[in-house]
A and B are shown apart, each in its own frame.
Chain A
């Protein structure tokens, strides 16, 4: 085993130790998933802010900067813009959850729309679309190790080891363990990104020198007009991702919101969240430095660590890789908690509560196992992320309709829209329909909204004529706006 491989394996084990340290095993779903809704400000901050520093920001973003130049700033844009939406939406969700005892996103749908079917549909859609995102984190971790050690064997071993550690610390310590590892990960990512940035800046003798060379060799990289990117790619991608993130459509991001001690804590964190996104300029800088340093045929996901390898000693690259591994393991832990809680709490709702919590642990093992198997086979990180974001963004209209004092749209119309929207995203992705640079989630949102409007019109006409009873009228529950 090389020194680099040893450092990374030791780092992955350390992450697991941090995760399970300091607490006895969580024994109930509420404490395990939302920490009794009492997380203090800084713990809440690291859980929320940490989501923007994942393997995508570590590997994918530098790759986009390498192939699309400053178009990569779209990530800074949508993450900052979504903080605005979350600033208003998250406190409302947290207050609703506290007063109505929600543990998951699907609980919100069950309560607000009075529909168990919609709740189960949301839970299934959420769990299915999170699997690629989980796989993406494990694949990214393996890629980091492979790039640093140069060994496919070490990559596979690290993926298996990290997956096992994720299962253990998530089952044992729940959201509190995740928060501890998040603090380590964010501090480490900050240090790691700064180390890489300093190395690249030193290699060029300054930041302006990097961009000056890019301006001479490929000026189109300084605009959002590079081949394959352009205005349609930017606008449709930023719009749908902002809408999705602003309405918190990713189920695994609900526990951090629901666990916050108060709505004020969430607001006070979210008003600063955009500042955190400035860190993403570092992988963008490195990716654009790669335009000068690397062979143009270099694969996008390999750009950051290849540049790091050319400008830093190997042991330091291995230390940076440990933080990259943490950037995969923390979101992976959060995602698997989202999947397992949706399935055990909302799909298997008829199972007795105590047994459900045990089944929750079994589902964690199964979900990580599935993602690991697919991860070992390899997958394209960018495409998987688009599938997850595009699919889950289809839940945005339904969440928006559930935020008001009174719910005025029926579960059947929103459910129909979700089914159409998510199916369309899957068809576009898997059938590789020629949609140019349009975002599949953006395109799918249009028929989603049309279906909601049409079905809702039919429901209202039937109600007026008394032709059909669609069950209890949704929206009878009134919850004051916070």
Chain B
């Protein structure tokens, strides 16, 4: 039976790229006419609403990525534990 190959890395390039999107948007905020304009949204400056929205986006994205990393770490640990148990079992049989 083919066992699934465990992940060798817990962080992927895709995760890093996706997480960096809000950082890039923050950096170039003054260039976005929809954010850098003197209007008010519910009485709050558009720029402040935009920054608050990006903060919320960062938290949501990092929550998702953290779950993925933790799942990968758990899978790696479980694989390592299984490998160790199998090795001990084999040694026991030989003894």
- Chain A residues within 8 Å of B, Cβ to Cβ: 69-70, 73, 76-78, 80-81, 83-85, 87-88, 206-209, 211-212, 215, 219-220, 222-225, 230-231, 234-235, 238-239, 242, 264, 267-268, 270-272, 274-275, 277-278, 281, 284, 481-482
Residue contact A212 to B26, C-beta cutoff 8 Å: no
In the bound complex, residues from chain A placing their C-beta under 8 Å from that of B20 are: 84
Complex: A239 Cα to B24 Cα, angstroms: 9
Best-buried of A212, A224, A264, A270 by chain B (most CB within 10 Å) = A224
**How many residues does chain B have at the interface if contact means C-beta atoms less than 8 Å apart?**
39
In the bound complex, residues from chain A placing their C-beta under 8 Å from that of B65 are: 87, 271
Q: Which of A206, A211, A274 contacts B58 (CB 8 A)?
A: A274
In the bound complex, residues from chain B placing their C-beta under 8 Å from that of A231 are: 30-31
Sampled A-B contacts (28; CB under 8 Å): A76-B55, A77-B26, A77-B54, A80-B26, A80-B55, A81-B26, A81-B58, A85-B23, A208-B44, A211-B43, A211-B44, A222-B38, A222-B39, A222-B45, A235-B27, A235-B28, A238-B26, A242-B23, A264-B73, A267-B69, A267-B70, A268-B66, A270-B62, A271-B65, A275-B55, A284-B48, A481-B9, A482-B10
Complex: A239 Cα to B27 Cα, angstroms: 6
Chain A: CB-nearest residue to B44: A211
Complex: A230 Cα to B31 Cα, angstroms: 10
Residue contact B27 to A81, C-beta cutoff 8 Å: yes
Q: Which of B51, B63, B73 contacts A271 (CB 8 A)?
A: B63
Q: Which of A69, A78, A208 contacts B43 (CB 8 A)?
A: A208
| CB-based A-B contact count at 8 angstroms | 122
Residue contact A208 to B52, C-beta cutoff 8 Å: no
Residue contact A212 to B43, C-beta cutoff 8 Å: yes
In the bound complex, residues from chain B placing their C-beta under 8 Å from that of A272 are: 59
Residue contact A70 to B47, C-beta cutoff 8 Å: yes
In the bound complex, residues from chain B placing their C-beta under 8 Å from that of A78 are: 26
Chain B: CB-nearest residue to A85: B23
Residue contact B48 to A73, C-beta cutoff 8 Å: yes
Q: How far is the CB of B88 from chain A (nearest CB, A)?
A: 23
Best-buried of A77, A270, A272, A281 by chain B (most CB within 10 Å) = A77
Residue contact A223 to B37, C-beta cutoff 8 Å: yes
Q: Tell me if B83 is interfacial: C-beta within 8 Å of chain A.
A: no
In the bound complex, residues from chain B placing their C-beta under 8 Å from that of A223 are: 36-38, 47
Complex: A59 Cα to B8 Cα, angstroms: 47
Q: How far is the CB of B4 from chain A (nearest CB, A)?
A: 20
Residue contact A222 to B30, C-beta cutoff 8 Å: no
Q: Tell me if B81 is interfacial: C-beta within 8 Å of chain A.
A: no
Q: How far is the CB of A310 from chain B (nearest CB, A)?
A: 22
Q: How far is the CB of A191 from chain B (nearest CB, A)?
A: 22
Complex: A224 Cα to B47 Cα, angstroms: 8
In the bound complex, residues from chain B placing their C-beta under 8 Å from that of A70 are: 45, 47-48
Complex: A264 Cα to B10 Cα, angstroms: 12
Besides A224-B36, A278-B55, 10 new A-B residue pairs in contact (Cβ under 8 A), listed by A number: A69-B45, A73-B51, A78-B26, A80-B22, A81-B26, A87-B65, A223-B47, A224-B30, A264-B73, A271-B66
In the bound complex, residues from chain B placing their C-beta under 8 Å from that of A268 are: 66
Chain A: CB-nearest residue to B62: A271
Complex: A363 Cα to B9 Cα, angstroms: 42
Chain B: CB-nearest residue to A277: B55
In the bound complex, residues from chain B placing their C-beta under 8 Å from that of A481 are: 9-11
In the bound complex, residues from chain A placing their C-beta under 8 Å from that of B70 are: 264, 267
Q: How far is the CB of B91 from chain A (nearest CB, A)?
A: 25
In the bound complex, residues from chain B placing their C-beta under 8 Å from that of A73 are: 47-48, 51
Query: Are A84 and B23 CB-contacts (below 8 A) given A70-B45, A230-B30, A264-B70?
Result: yes
Residue contact A76 to B31, C-beta cutoff 8 Å: no
Residue contact B42 to A208, C-beta cutoff 8 Å: yes
In the bound complex, residues from chain B placing their C-beta under 8 Å from that of A211 are: 40, 43-45
Residue contact B48 to A225, C-beta cutoff 8 Å: no
Complex: A242 Cα to B10 Cα, angstroms: 24
Chain A: CB-nearest residue to B35: A224
Complex: A21 Cα to B42 Cα, angstroms: 47
In the bound complex, residues from chain A placing their C-beta under 8 Å from that of B30 are: 224-225, 230-231, 234-235
Q: How far is the CB of B41 from chain A (nearest CB, A)?
A: 10
In the bound complex, residues from chain B placing their C-beta under 8 Å from that of A208 are: 40, 42-44
Q: Tell me if B16 is interfacial: C-beta within 8 Å of chain A.
A: yes
Residue contact B29 to A222, C-beta cutoff 8 Å: no
Query: Are A271 and B59 CB-contacts (below 8 A) given A85-B23, A220-B38?
Result: yes
In the bound complex, residues from chain A placing their C-beta under 8 Å from that of B19 are: 84, 87-88
Complex: A277 Cα to B59 Cα, angstroms: 11
Residue contact B29 to A234, C-beta cutoff 8 Å: yes
Chain B: CB-nearest residue to A272: B59
Q: Which of B23, B29, B40, B48 contacts A281 (CB 8 A)?
A: B48
Residue contact A274 to B66, C-beta cutoff 8 Å: no
Q: How far is the CB of A262 from chain B (nearest CB, A)?
A: 10
Residue contact B43 to A207, C-beta cutoff 8 Å: yes
Q: Which of A77, A83, A271, A277 contacts B29 (CB 8 A)?
A: A77
In the bound complex, residues from chain B placing their C-beta under 8 Å from that of A206 are: 43
